[in-house]
Structure 1
Amino acid sequence: MQQAEHCLTVGATLGEGPIWVDDALWFVDIKQQRIYRHDPAAGTLDHWAAPEMVGWVVPAARGGFVAGLKSGPHHFDPATGGFARLADVDAHLPANRLNDACVDGQGRIWFGTMDNDEAALSGRLFRWAAGRVEPTSADVVCITNGPAISPDDSILYHVDTLGKVILAHPMLADGTLGPATEFARFGDADGHPDGAICDAEGGVWVGFFGGWAARRYAPDGTMTDEVRFPVSNITKIALGGPDGRTAYATTARQGLSEGQLAEQVQAGDIFTFRVTVPAKPLHRAQI
């Protein structure tokens, strides 16, 4: 069993959405409304203030990023720090926010919504394609996570965090999702499955909120790797570095008592470990 190493002091309330883009690690602190960029080679950490809670950033083909703000996707330009609205999502559900996302090989963005109070069954999985945001056929849940997409774009993994299950949807070339099958289910001792990604062999890495661990599952659902952390709330993994085999994990302070925070002084920081299977190719959103 591998142990993660401390990499970067951030103290994020709810660190999330790590992604390796152009030799740097990008991630967000949802609750503090910040976007971060860490350059490991230079040892720098830059950040930008977002106008709303921000669940994720993904690189855009036209340059800059698409940022998942509370109200919907925005184009984010790091050079100016500016945000431009691209679409509204769940305007009729003011308690909802965007939570997690990924980009497929055709440049479509797949993202989920959730009740910010983590109580109502109001979270849905959406697809952004050709400038339009459309809900998918995936079931409504309280907290959506992932999604993660296999390297050949044939499977979409959707995490129901409070249901403690990862579902696998077959995905057609036009973005249609087939009926879900259960990929993995977890017990109370595991914590809650959080953000998920796929690696170059189709393995699924998932962080466990309250579980002190991140795990990799082979495409057949067999657990192949487990990495333990000195903090409990592991939110998501990104694979990067020069060879795509360095993992970076975001973590969170949210939900921890004063006593727990005193014991987990590195909660909310970035951790790292090495993996055998590298990252799959980076895709940029077609906007």
Structure 2
Amino acid sequence: MSDRAVTLIDRGDYWLVQARPHPALRPFLRAYDGYWERDTVPSRMRTLPTRSVVVIINFGPPLRLAVPDPGTGDRDYASLAAGMYDGHGMYAHPGGQRGVHLDLTPLGAYTLLGVPMARLTNAAAELPELLGPAAALLVERLAGTPSWAARFDLLDAFLLRRLEAGPRPDPEVARAWRLLLGSAGRVPVAEIAADVGWSRRHLAHRFHEQAGLPPKVMARVLRFERAVGLARHGRALADVAAACGYYDQAHLNREFRALSGCSPTELLGGQLEPQRTATLAESL
């Protein structure tokens, strides 16, 4: 029997199970949560750009994901990895969802998934497409394991093997990511390139390949993510614009429309679909 501590949270229409990943995984894996819905109620949700690569290990019916890449279209997925986005998409499911939701850092995803993250830019893929037959076996074993503590132990063991065997990002790319993340996207790319000793062009190529977005676009996503968070906590939009490095509120409004497909008022006021707008990382 596992002695892992887990926390069970009643969210009304679904249960959430939280546990801390193995210490060796924490630099690569922001969080993972188990979940299951009480009722079979269909749901649709707008997804927004975020700093995470999302992996969903699904024990329930397939879910439908529309990604920002206009050439991809809607597609049903069993278990999936969704890469870095620079636009909005749509997530829908028939209800009765059960599974595990993981938030990976972009460079953690590069190592744990073992593929260039540029392959998943504005896109998603079934886990077996990325991890091979081991992914299907993992889903089967997790679904058949009776306790959540044992499930998280099993997941840790799988991810630790992936961590040992996976590729490592360039130190320069890792440094660039830390600078972008630490400044919430406000450090100029030219300054980052000078810091790591690469040309802007070489940095853009290597960073895009390993993190999933070019540094300039990643900075834009990080600024937007921070702006959404501040605005949701009640900050005035003019103050949010200043805090996040936008020229003015009009600039912030344009960025919201470009990245979320709607205005700040629509997004934050729930005028699109009441209470059903979130980052993909918050959507389960």
Q: TM-score, normalised by structure 2?
A: 0.28
- Which protein, 1 or 2, shows the higher relative CO under an 8 Å CA cutoff with sep ≥ 6? 2
User: Which protein has the bigger helix share?
Assistant: 2
Larger radius of gyration: 2
Structure showing the higher strand proportion among its residues: 1
Query: What is the TM-score when the length of structure 1 is the normalising length?
Result: 0.28
